Structure 1
Amino acid sequence: MTLTEQAPMTSIANTPPTVLCVDDEPNILSALRRLFRPHGYRLLTADSGAAGLAVLESETVDLVISDMRMPQMDGAQFLAQVRQRWPGTVRLLLTGYADIGAILDAINHGEIYRYVTKPWDENDIVLVVRHALERRALEQDKLRLEALTASQNAELLLLNASLEQKVAVRTQQLKLSHDELQTANDKLKATFVTTIKVFSNLIEMRGGKLAGHARRVAELSRKLAQTMGLEAQDARDVFIAALLKDIGKLSLSDDLLELPASAWNGEQLATFRKHPLRAEQLLMALDELRPVSVILRSQLERFDGAGFPDALAGLAIPLGARILALASDYDGLQIGAMVQRSLRADEARTLVYDSGGKRYDPAVVAAFRSLMDQTQAPPRDMAVLSGELEPGMVLSRDLISRDGLMLLAGEHVLTARVIAQLLDFEGKNGGRLAIRVYPPAVAP
C-alpha cells in the first residue's frame, strides 16, 4: 500500500526530491509525513519491504528511509535489495533496537548512508536527509559533468585528428616546391581560424543577445595585443581564446545565462565561476591550443587578486587573460550581460577606465584608452551590394547574417558560385547582407 504527498519546493530545482518511507507501523509513517511535509519533498510510503520494492519498480526514488524490524523482510534485507537493484538511491536505516548485529548487517549488505534511532530528534533526522540528498545531487552532477567533459574531449580529439590528417595529406602533395608548401600552410591556418569561428558561432546560438559577442571581443583583444607589442603568435592565441571564451559555459543552464551577472545569487555565481576550469579541461588534449587554455583558465582573475579560480594578482596573471578580461567586460557591459541594463559605449569606457589597477591591468587599460582615443582612419574597404560582386573580390571582414550567423570568413576570395549562393540567400531571407570588400588597390 502506498501514499503519495506532494508539496511545493522552495529550491530552484525543477523536480523535488522523492523520499520513500517504509515501516509496518502506520503511526510512524504518519509522523514521517508530518515531519517532512514542510520541506518540499515528494513523499512515498510503504507498509512492508515487499511494498517498498514495488514502489521502487514504478517510481524514481532519491532516498529510502526503512525501519529495521518488519515482518517477512526486515530493513537490512530490504535495503540490501535496494542497493543491488537501485544503487543510486540513498539508504537510511530507522531502528528502535540496540541491535548491533542487525545494524552491521545493514551497513555491510545494504551499504546504508546513516542509521537513525527511534525515538528520533526531528532536527537531526531532517538534517541527515537534507545532507544525504545534497550529497547525492553533487555526485550526480559530478558524474554528468565528467561524462560531458569526456564526450567533448573526444569530439575535440576527433577534430584534431582530422585536421592533422588533412595537414599530412596536403603537405605530401605540396612538397614539390617551397612556395606551394607555404601556400598550403597559409590555407591551413585560415581554415583552422575559420573552424574556430564557426564553433564560436555555435556556442553563441544559446542566447540571442550573445550573437556576435565573441567576434567583437576577439577583434578588440587582437587590437589590444597588437597595441601592446605582442608577437604575432601570442596575439593569435589571444584572438582564438576570445572566440572560445564561452566554451566552458556549455554545461550551464539557459536560465543562468539569460540573467545579467549583477542579478546572480551566490549559488549561481559559484556555478558560473567554474566555467574557466571547464574550458581549460576541454582544450587540454589539444597541444596547439594549450596556450589558449591557459588564457581561458585565468579569464576571471582580477589584477588586485580578488578573481577566480586561482586568486592570481598583477603580472602573475597571463597577459592574454588580462587583455581578454577587459575586452570581454567592455562588450558585455554594452549588451547587458553584466549589469541590469545595456550601457552606452562611453559609459562602458568610463567603468573600464575607473577599474584600472583593481579589476584590470593598468597597462592594458592604457592600451585600451589609446585605441579609443585614436582618430578613426579612413576605411580600407568598401560596402557593396550583392549584385555588384564580381569573382576575385576579397571579403574585408566576416560576412554575418541578420540573425548573427557567420556565412563566410573574412579574407574569403569570392567565386561565381559563391556570389550566386549569396544572391539566393538574400532572395530567400528577404533582406540585404552587409557586404564589405577590399578595393582592388588594397586587397591583400
Structure 2
Amino acid sequence: MIGSDNVPRGGARPVTILCVDDEPNILSSLRRLFRPQGYEVLTEVSGHAGLKVLESQPVDVIISDMRMPEMDGAQFLERVRARWPDTLRLLLTGYADIQLIIGAINRGEIYRYITKPWDDNDILLVVRHALERKALEQEKQRLETLTQLQNEELRNLNAGLENKVALRTAALNRLHDELLASNEKLKTSFLTSIKVFSNLIEMRGANLAGHSRRVADLARRIAVRVGLDARETQEVFIAGLLHNIGKIGFSDALLTMPVSMMNGDNLGQYRKYPVRGEQLLMPLEDLRDAAKIVRSHQERFDGEGFPDRLSGFDIPIGARVLALASDYDNLQIGTLSQRFLRPDQAAALVIESRGKRYDAAVVAAFLDVINGVTGVDSMQGKPLSVPELQPGMVTARDIVTKDGSLLLSADHVLSERLIRQIADFEQSSGEVFTVYIVEERP
C-alpha cells in the first residue's frame, strides 16, 4: 500500500517516477512538480535511455511523451508492458488525433493519457489515483496468493488429520480387538483355573473324583431348562465346581464319612462348610454371586436345611438348582449314605422329595434333562473321535478322564499340539475319548 508520504508502507524506498521526453523543459517542469510530493523523479530524453533505466532499477510510474524521435511513446510503452507489466504507464501527448491515442493505449495498455498543456493538480491526481489502484491490485494479489497458500495448507492439514484419524482409529480398533481377545483368554483361563482347583479338592477322596465337574455340568443343564439367562447359568456352573470348597479343612476321615453316619461335632463341623465356602470365595469380586449360591445350596425347600433355614422361593434359584444336582450325584457315590445308588434309584429319591427338599419346578427341569429332552442346551456340541479333530475347532465340553480328572476344559481352541497331546494320552492310557466340538451355526 502507498502511504500519504508516497512511501510504500513497510518499504524502504519512495515511489519512483520515470519521465521520458525529448524536450528538456518538459522534463524540468515534471521534476519540479513531483519532487515536492515526495516522489523520486528520474528523467530521460529517449525511449532507449528509459529502457536502460528500467533494466537497472525498479520504477513505479512512467510518464512518456508520445512524439519522440527514433522510438515514439507508444512503442516505448509497448516494450515496457512486455517486460515490466506491473509498472504504471501514462502517456503525455499534444496530438489531437484521437485514433493515434487509442492505438497507443491499446498496444501499451496505458492507464491514462494526459494532454499538453496539463493542469498540475490534474496530473498529480492522475498519478495518485494510478498508484492507489496499483496498491489495491497488489494487495488483492497478495491476499489471493495468501488465500491460495492457506487453502493449500488447510487441504494438507485436513489430509494429514484424516490420515492421522484413520491411523488412530485403526490402532484403537486393533487395541480393542486385542483387549477383547485378551479378555476372552482371561475368562477362559479363569474358568480353567477353577476347574483345576476343583480337581485338587477332590483328589483327597476317592469317591469325590469328578463329582464337582459332574454336578456343575448337570446344574448348568438344569439351569438352562429352568430358563436362567447366560450369566446366571454361568454362575450356577461355577458354584457347582466350587460348592465343596468349604470342606478343604476337613480331616480325611470326615471328608470320606457319609453324612448319614455323622453326629455330634462331626455333624456340626459339616454343617459349617457352605458358610466357609462363601467366605473363601467372597474376596474375589467375580465369584461373589457364585459364593451366595454355595452358601445356600444345602437349604431345603421346606425350610429344614442349613445354614440359614431359608424356605421356598427365599432360597436363590441357583442354590435350588445346585442342591438337586449335588444330591443326585452324592446319592450315587455314597457321600450321603453308605449305599451307592444307581442313577434311576437316585432320581426316584429326588422325585420323592419334590416340594419338600427340592423345588418342584427344578425337579421337572431335572427330569427333562435326564430323559433327554432336546432343544434346551446349546452346549451339547458335535461328538468327534480324536482322529477327526482339526486345528481351530472349539471344545463344547470338558474332556475328562475315567477317574474324573480334567484333561481339557470347554471353550478351548484346538491346535495341532493340543490334538497331538490328547492322542498321546489316549494311546498311553488306553482310554477312547469322544470330544464334543462347538457346531457352526448358519
C-alpha contact (below 8 Å) 2:220/2:236 kept by paired residues? yes
Equivalent in the alignment of 1:404: 404
C-alpha contact (below 8 Å) 2:211/2:404 kept by paired residues? no
C-alpha RMSD of matched pairs (Å)? 2.5
Please state if 1:245 is matched with 2:246.
Answer: no
Equivalent in the alignment of 1:382: 383
C-alpha contact (below 8 Å) 1:174/1:184 kept by paired residues? no
C-alpha contact (below 8 Å) 1:295/1:318 kept by paired residues? yes
Equivalent in the alignment of 1:421: 421
The equivalences for 1:3-82 within 5 A come to: none
CA drift at 1:359: 0.8
CA drift at 1:351: 0.7
CA drift at 1:182: 3.0
Which of 291, 294, 301 lines up with 2:292 in the alignment? 294
Call closer, same or farther: CA 1:430–1:309 in 2, change over 3 Å. Answer: closer
CA drift at 1:239: 0.7
Q: Deviations over 1:337-386 (max 9, x none)?
A: 1122111111111111111111111221122223234446897422414x
C-alpha contact (below 8 Å) 1:393/1:437 kept by paired residues? no
C-alpha contact (below 8 Å) 2:381/2:397 kept by paired residues? no
Equivalent in the alignment of 1:211: 209
Amino acid in the other structure paired with 2:418: V
Q: Deviations over 1:143-190 (max 9, x none)?
A: xxxxxxxxxxxxxxxxxxxxxxxxxxxxxx986354443333322222
Equivalent in the alignment of 2:311: 313
Equivalent in the alignment of 1:229: 227
- Tell me how far apart the structure 2 counterparts of residues 376 and 229 of structure 1 sit (CA, whole Å): 14
Equivalent in the alignment of 1:23: none
Amino acid in the other structure paired with 2:356: K
C-alpha contact (below 8 Å) 2:222/2:362 kept by paired residues? yes
TM-score normalised to structure 1 length: 0.56
Call closer, same or farther: CA 1:176–1:442 in 2, change over 3 Å. Answer: closer
Secondary structure, in 3 states, of the residue corresponding to 1:414? coil
- Tell me how far apart the structure 1 counterparts of residues 173 and 201 of structure 2 sit (CA, whole Å): 37
C-alpha contact (below 8 Å) 1:394/1:443 kept by paired residues? no
Gaps of 5+ in 1: 1-172
CA drift at 1:291: 0.9
- Tell me how far apart the structure 2 counterparts of residues 370 and 432 of structure 1 sit (CA, whole Å): 30
Gaps of 5+ in 2: 1-170
Call closer, same or farther: CA 1:225–1:389 in 2, change over 3 Å. Answer: closer
Q: Deviations over 1:78-121 (max 9, x none)?
A: xxxxxxxxxxxxxxxxxxxxxxxxxxxxxxxxxxxxxxxxxxxx
- Tell me how far apart the structure 1 counterparts of residues 401 and 413 of structure 2 sit (CA, whole Å): 18
User: In the comparison of the two structures, how many residue pairs are matched?
Assistant: 269
C-alpha contact (below 8 Å) 1:174/1:180 kept by paired residues? no
Amino acid in the other structure paired with 2:431: R
TM-score normalised to structure 2 length: 0.56
Q: Deviations over 1:254-274 (max 9, x none)?
A: 111212211222321111101
CA drift at 1:417: 1.8
C-alpha contact (below 8 Å) 1:259/1:337 kept by paired residues? yes
Secondary structure, in 3 states, of the residue corresponding to 2:417? helix
Equivalent in the alignment of 1:275: 273
- Tell me how far apart the structure 1 counterparts of residues 332 and 172 of structure 2 sit (CA, whole Å): 47
Equivalent in the alignment of 2:339: 341
Please state if 1:391 is matched with 2:391.
Answer: yes
Amino acid in the other structure paired with 1:265: N
Amino acid in the other structure paired with 2:331: L
The equivalences for 1:115-130 within 5 A come to: none
Larger radius of gyration: 2
- Tell me how far apart the structure 2 counterparts of residues 235 and 416 of structure 1 sit (CA, whole Å): 31
Amino-acid identity (%)? 52
- Tell me how far apart the structure 2 counterparts of residues 399 and 424 of structure 1 sit (CA, whole Å): 14
Which of 173, 184, 187 lines up with 1:186 in the alignment? 184
C-alpha contact (below 8 Å) 1:218/1:239 kept by paired residues? yes
CA drift at 1:309: 0.9
Amino acid in the other structure paired with 1:229: G
Equivalent in the alignment of 1:40: none
